[in-house]
Chains A and B, each alone.
Chain A
Amino acid sequence: MLSIILKLIVAAVLAGTPLLFGALGEILTEKSGNTNLGVEGMMYMGAVSGIAGAFFYGKAAGGAPVGVVAVLIALVVSFLIGALGALIYAFLTITLRANQNVTGLTLTIFGTGFGNFFGDFIAKNAGGSLVVTDGVKAMFKGIAIPGLSKIPVLGTLLFNYNWMVYFAVIVAVVMAWFFKRSRVGLNLRAVGEDPATADAAGINVTRYKYVATVVGGGICGIGGMYISMVSQNGVWVFDCVSGYGWLAVALVIFATWDCNRAILVALVFGALKIMRLYVALPIPSQFYDMAPYIVTIIVLVITSMRESREHAQPKSCGTNYFREER
């Protein structure tokens, strides 16, 4: 019994990590007052560019790529391409002041097409499949941390994951600190809550919004790369992101825009996502897919009933800021 629970938790962590990346990217974006519904799209862009980056580097290195370099390339490329998607969004909403929801949805459609097109295109040119070398694949496998991983139960539970899991947690903790303690974080929160006030206080609202949105998109891109490199084992699979981005958006609400809480919620969502493999109930599998969204709706109902001012979406989300508006 214990071993099944352990397996479930480990699987939940692995499934929850891309969600955590997506959610962290979206939290950063929303803290600047932009609701970017393009998370799904940016994750697709990150997914395909990360694997393609590692793949082309492998080809250039004559089939014998250095693992660490391949990892770095995948990380940087997926971040940049995710950020590029967010940059399109940022330009449209911040500079041209287009509707945020419409732009975000469009970015999702664009990103999905971008990912699937380039994924299949590269696969076709490569002779059928887009796949990285075994050496690179190994870099994304779990690492048994020497010593610690030998501790019974805790070792399996905490010290046997691939590096991206730890990286995601670090990003979350750093972001939580950033919002709570740092000066720039305080300024960013002010921009998201009330851009006119931030502007009057001498904060460059446009720059803050651009940087937060673009970096947020980059983090979403890394989440996409996790899916292609870890979840799919370094093989490009058509439609691989399918819904993870939307789950991440739901996760942001569930976590009430709190990065530390997002770690726990990602675990819960990860568990719900893989539940059907471990707990077989006589219900259609679609009910399992629904579970995270139902939980999110319940959380939305509860939080809106509580009307907390602090555990809520930044107030200016959805509206674009124009200084000389009257």
Chain B
Amino acid sequence: MEQYAIEMKGITKTFGKVIANHDVNLQLRKGEILALLGENGSGKTTLMNMLSGIYFPDHGSIKVNGTEVSIQSPKDAFDHGIGMIHQHFKLVDVLTAAENIVLGLKGGITIDRKSTNKKVKELGDKYGFDVDPAKKIYNMAVSEKQTVEILKVLYRGAEILILDEPTAVLTPQEVDKLFAVLRNMKEDGKSIIIITHKLHEVLSISDRVAILRKGEYIGTIETATANQSTLTEMMVGHAISLEIKHPEVEQGPEMLRVHDLTCLNSEKVKALDGVNFSAFGGEVLGIAGIAGSGQKELCEAIAGLYPITGGTVLFRQKKDGVEVMENIGGQDAQNIHKKGVSYVPMAFVPEDRLGMGLVASMDMVDNVMLRSYKDNKGFFVDRKPPKELSEKLIKDLEIVTPGVSTPVRRLSGGNVQKVLLGREISFGPDVLVVSYPVRGLDINSSYKIYDLLNEQKKKGVAVIFVGEDLDVLLEISDRILVMCGGKVSGIVNAKETTKEELGLYMIKVGGGKEEIA
């Protein structure tokens, strides 16, 4: 009988009434890379958290190297040589890389920072990481933080590594680098589980794929025998078309013009630096870039939520029957009202849906009303129109909810997004800014959202789509604007570009072309 590095049998975990994992079996061979595939909410992370000691299973057994173990805490996990790199990095901001790495370890009363730094550096060199052990975490870029996370696990002598969606925050080039490091580790005899929902990554890195669906174990297959459609079918439960529709619409008038837009962040550093672009009706303008390259600031500046230091944001307005571009950037909604611009022709779907987009503890009617209550005359609000609109949204967008008076917090991610997007669309904007609209959504909901956006495009709306998945951006967008360090790195035609080209634009303004030429 083969001895597995990890063998999980009949694992069940519930949170209150929610069953996160039901009777899951999983085997990890020694020295292999196993991809754990599943949609969001399918219980991948929960399952792995039980290996790393964050959660404790309700039922089932875990064997490490053939011996049955009970993993009660992260410390137990380390003792069994299991290390997990979490999706949301578990690093202490105000400490250095090396301090984070030795955190919680046994040793002398004091910490010899010099020798720890040296050891960390050596370990990094061994696997091909570039790391400054004395750098504070809050000064680090995302990819550096991930490096620290991986080193932390290796430093503890982990033989089994679990990576939870490690590529979500990386550029294609950084992903390649990470995969090279993972292959190095595999050569070194380490067993690796990588959680992901990106199919092409599964196919390029893993030896075998285990698939979860809605908390249940579907099966494990050899990667060599799999392809994108078989994996999708196992993951979703039925065959679905993976193609994102791309309706051809004639380009409309210029709806939004951003001219030389500059914003300073709280540290007085330029979050946006001389941004210039236009958005036209009837097109989807994709915005790509490494997380934190200024996408958030750009969206919020357009929406009037972020203070503008220089430049203008012009919207197409009808004034005395003549269409003009009016500068209403950098002013909040109230000021715009006072200025006599009765209608702000834009809608914004922020990435933080329940923080910025909707009030989590209020019901759908109240949330819909937030957008319109000011049109109400008099002291009292009229709840009837928003209620009707909510009911219409539930019907049209197939929102799954017990009713209009259920707090939106209780809805699933996909339904929350439908409420938010539905509300914004219903006011008939000229410009629709959506920020990471499918983050955390399952495949079916994602496609529903893409359809809604395409519908708006057909209506002549200028859709600005900030996304992280380049494959999706390439398919849905007409043009793609790539941001890098707060600047527009390049605007390319989505049909004529490649992922690699976008990646180059993401890490260097202008894609480094000037240097080659």
A residues near B, CB below 8 A?
A: 181-184, 186-187, 189-190, 193-194, 196-204, 307, 309-310, 315, 323-324, 326
Contact = CB atoms under 8 A, between A and B. Distances in A.
23 contacts: A181-B111, A182-B109, A183-B107, A183-B110, A183-B111, A184-B109, A186-B99, A186-B102, A189-B94, A190-B104, A194-B90, A196-B90, A199-B74, A201-B103, A202-B78, A204-B75, A307-B266, A307-B267, A309-B93, A309-B94, A309-B138, A324-B55, A326-B15
B84 A183 contact: no
A30 to B, nearest CB: 14
B73 A190 contact: no
Nearest to B73: A202
A126 B15 CA distance: 59
Interface in B71-129: 73-75, 78, 84, 86, 90-95, 99-100, 102-105, 107-111
A326 B99 CA distance: 27
Contact of B92 (A197, A202, A204, A326): A197
A189 B92 contact: yes
Contact of B104 (A181, A198, A326): A198
A197 to B, nearest CB: 4
A184 B95 CA distance: 14
Given A190-B103, A194-B92, 11 more contacts: A182-B109, A183-B105, A186-B103, A189-B92, A190-B95, A193-B92, A198-B104, A200-B74, A201-B74, A202-B105, A204-B73
Given A194-B90, A200-B90, A201-B74, A187 B103 contact: yes
Contacts of A203: 103-104
A321 to B, nearest CB: 12
Most buried by B among A193, A201, A203: A201
A189 B104 CA distance: 11
Nearest to A181: B110
A315 B104 CA distance: 18
B94 to A, nearest CB: 5
B311 to A, nearest CB: 25
B492 interface: no
Interface in B291-337: none
A294 to B, nearest CB: 26
A198 B103 contact: yes
Interface residues of B, number: 31
Contacts of B489: none
A200 B99 contact: no
B267 A201 contact: no
A182 B113 CA distance: 11
A70 B94 CA distance: 44
A104 to B, nearest CB: 24
A221 B152 CA distance: 40
Interface string B38-59: 0000000000000010110000
Contacts of A324: 15, 54-55
B108 to A, nearest CB: 7
Nearest to B16: A326
A315 B137 CA distance: 14
Contacts of A198: 92, 103-104
B93 A202 contact: no
